Structure 1
Amino acid sequence: MDRFVIRNPKSHKIQDNKGKPKSKGQATLHSLKRVVVLEDIKRWKCILELPNQTTENLTDALSQLKKKIPSEEVIRSTKIGEAVENLQIHSDQKVSELAKEVHTQWETFIREKRCKPTIEVRCDAATEKLRGNARRMLSDILGNEAGDSLAECIEREVFHQSSRLINVHYRKTVRALVFALKHKPEIRAQVKDGHLPVNQLVQSHKK
């Protein structure tokens, strides 16, 4: 999807202070505020809801969410609205204020422009099936009730760092993580108690 770009018409070129045409560059489809990638929404939701999450990861996810305006249907179906709303009372002031900004921005836009269409980008069924298998393997190793949500966060981070593709890097990284979490209890413990953030775990095992 990133190959599709939005180009300004040639008749609307921007000029510099010398009157010469000035290049503004190109905007990728994903950079547009009303283009909502459901995978990104679900990944950010995982980050916001994961226990023992770092303040840095929370503020980064909220900052990314602030750049997007999901439809009311997406906010409700993914429950991303609830995740953002819950952080409005977070103990860290920066996190709580950013969550309030995101919540207010979405609420205002939906109230004023409820009928405006949204472009939603989804994964195909075959991709979701393969990803589901990866999550189950990770969940089996992590165990307990938190295993499913943590496994989902790990898998979504792998997918994100693999450029949203089920490619050789994705498969090798999943295998490396399964091996590490299964045979290295110290890593498994650090991930489960939040001392090793998911993004750092994936980055350190990226193939």
Structure 2
Amino acid sequence: MTTNDPVLRALSHPTRLRMLSLMWAAPQSAAALARELGVSHALASHHLRLLGDAGLTERAGTRTRRGGVERRYRTVRGTPLSDQAARDGAPLLAETLAHNLRERAARQASGSPGVTADAELWLTPEDWDAFRGRFAALLADLHDAARPPHDPGTVRVGGTVLLVPLVDEGTDADGTDAPVTPAPPGAG
């Protein structure tokens, strides 16, 4: 899938998603992001530029460091992943989320508890709306509790979530049951 939407394009790269997470709790420089992600300073700057062009990051000030001026950036608050998925970006974002899920699963701390779930369930629209709202609030609380990378007394946590209404045969695009049309006589 290709897209000209700059926000969706910016969100569709695993490194950029990780950068947004790292800049959520505290502003970061391109150099700090490069060190944390194990990429070159030039690549971190490129990703930051794309995130900024899409309106997902903003400059959070400067500071003097090693005789130079270091520009620091932060994530703009909001729900860009959910917003983009709602605009038919789910397949592209799901691929990026799957990449992050595989990478994080490989780095799970041995013997440490986590939460793992998979579900394909049928809910009433009212239950779905209520659950989606509670889950979004829980994720907002998780992000609000985030601390800067390597802050003393913290544990690094990774999470990847995609909750969406599904469409399949016998279902309308809004996720409700479609009327069943009987097969014509002799069909097979």
More helix by share: 1
Q: TM-score, normalised by structure 2?
A: 0.32
Taking CA–CA contacts closer than 8 Å with sequence separation of 6 or more, which of the two structures ends up with the larger relative contact order? 2
The structure that has the greater radius of gyration is 2
